[in-house]
Amino acid sequence: MNIHELIGELREDNKSKIVLLVADGLGGLPLTPGGKTELETARTPNLDKAAAEGVTGLSIPVLPGITPGSGPGHLGLFGYDPLQYRIGRGILEALGINFHVTDKDVAVRGNFCTLDASGKISDRRAGRPTTERCVAMVEKMRSVKIPGVEIFVEPVKEHRFVVVFRGENLGDAVNDTDPQAIGVAPLLAHGKDEASKKTAEFVNQFVTAVGKVLASDVPTNGVTLRGFARYPKIGTMQEIYGLKSAAIAVYPMYKGLARLVGMDILDAGSTLNDQITTLKKVWNDYSFFFLHYKYTDSTGEDGNFPAKVDMIEKLDAAVPGILELNPDVFIVTGDHSTPSKLKSHSWHPVPTLIRAASARTDAVTRFSESTCLQGGLGQFQAMHLMLMAMAHAGRLGKYGA
Asked whether residue 58 is domain-assigned, the answer is yes
Q: Is 187 strand, coil or helix?
A: coil
pLDDT in tens, 141-170: 999 999 999 999 999 989 999 999 999 999
User: Other CB atoms closer than 10 Å to residue 308's CB: what's the count?
Assistant: 29
In a domain, 397, yes or no: no
**What gap in Å lies between CA 23 and CA 309, rounded to an integer?**
12
Half-sphere exposure at residue 45, Cβ-oriented, CA atoms within 13 angstroms: 2
Same domain, 300 and 323: yes
Q: Which helix (H) or strand (E) holds 196?
A: helix 194-213
Query: Does 199 reside within a domain?
Result: yes
Domains identified in the chain, total number: 2
281/113 Cα distance (integer angstroms): 39
pLDDT for the residue 401: 79
291: which strand partners?
21, 248
Q: How far is CA 370 from CA 144, 293, 297, 303, in A?
A: 52, 22, 19, 21
Where on the phi/psi map is residue 361: left (φ > 0), alpha (ψ -120 to 50), or beta? beta
Same domain for 81 and 39, yes or no, is yes
Q: Is residue 399 part of a domain?
A: no
Shared domain for 317 and 264, answered yes or no, is: yes
Can you give the residue range of the structural domain that contains 170?
92-229
Residue 96 and residue 145 share a domain: yes
Classify residue 401: in a domain, yes or no: no
- Give the DSSP per-residue string, 41-56: HS--HHHHHHHHHSEE
- pLDDT one-digit tens code per residue, 50-91: 999 999 999 999 999 999 999 999 999 999 999 998 888 898
In the DSSP assignment, the letter for residue 230 is P
pTM, two decimal places: 0.82
Burial of 152 (0-12, 13-18, 19+ CB in 10 A): middle
Domain boundary among the residues 199, 229, 259 is at 229
How far is Cα 204 from Cα 222, in angstroms, rounded to an integer? 13
Q: Where are the beta strands (DSSP E) in 168-248?
A: 222-229, 245-248
pLDDT tens-digit readout, 281-320: 999 999 999 999 999 999 999 999 999 999 999 999 999 9
Residue 86 has a pLDDT of 83
Assess whether 248 and 386 both reside in one domain: yes
Q: Which residues of 309-338 are buried (b: 16+ CB within 10 A; e: fewer)?
A: bbbbbbbbebbebbeeeebbbbbbbbbbbb
The amino acid present at 225, given as its one-letter code, is L
- pLDDT digit string, tens, across residues 98-140: 898 998 999 999 999 999 999 999 999 999 999 999 999 999 9
Mean pLDDT of 331-339: 98
Region of residue 356 (phi > 0: left; psi between -120 and 50: alpha; otherwise: beta) = beta
| Model pLDDT for residues 166-188, shown as the tens digit of each residue | 999 999 999 999 999 999 999 99
24-37 pLDDT tens trace: 999 999 999 999 99
CA distance 389 to 131: 36
Regarding whether 180 and 148 lie in a shared domain, the answer is yes
* Amino acid in the structure at residue 22: V
List strands edge to edge, sheet with 350-356: 264-265, 245-248, 288-293, 18-23, 329-333, 350-356, 55-60, 378-381
pLDDT cut 70: percent of the chain above it: 100
d(CA 307, CA 297): 10
Q: Does residue 73 contact residue 336 with C-beta atoms inside 8 Å? A: yes
* CB-neighbour burial class of residue 372 (10 A; exposed 0-12, middle 13-18, buried 19+): buried
Do residues 206 and 239 share a domain? no
Q: Residue 253 — very low, low, confident or very high, per pLDDT cuts 50/70/90?
A: confident
Query: Is 238 found in the same domain as 172?
Result: no
Residue 276: the pLDDT is 97
- 76: domain CATH number? 3.40.720.10
Q: Do 81 and 148 lie in a common domain? A: no
Examine residue 357 and state whether it is found in any structural domain, yes or no. Answer: yes
Same domain flag for 247 and 346: yes
Helix (H, G, I), strand (E, B) or coil at 354: strand
132: domain CATH number? Answer: 3.30.70
In angstroms, the CA 57 to CA 229 distance is 33
The residues facing 333 across adjacent strands are 22
Instruction: Say yes or no to pLDDT of 1 above 80.
Output: no
Q: Tell me the residue type at 341.
A: K
Instruction: Say yes or no: 178 and 304 in one domain.
Output: no
Euclidean distance between the first and the last CA atom of the chain, given in angstroms as a whole number: 17
Question: Last residue of a domain, which of 229, 249, 282?
Answer: 229
Averaged pLDDT of the chain: 96
Domain end among 172, 205, 229: 229
Q: Taking the mean position of all CA atoms in its chain, how far away is CA 300?
A: 14
Binned at pLDDT 50, 70 and 90, residue 356 comes out as very high
**What distance in Å separates the CA atoms of residue 101 and residue 186, rounded to the nearest whole number?**
27
Residues 50, 102, single domain; the answer is no
8 A C-beta contact, residue 356 and residue 330: yes
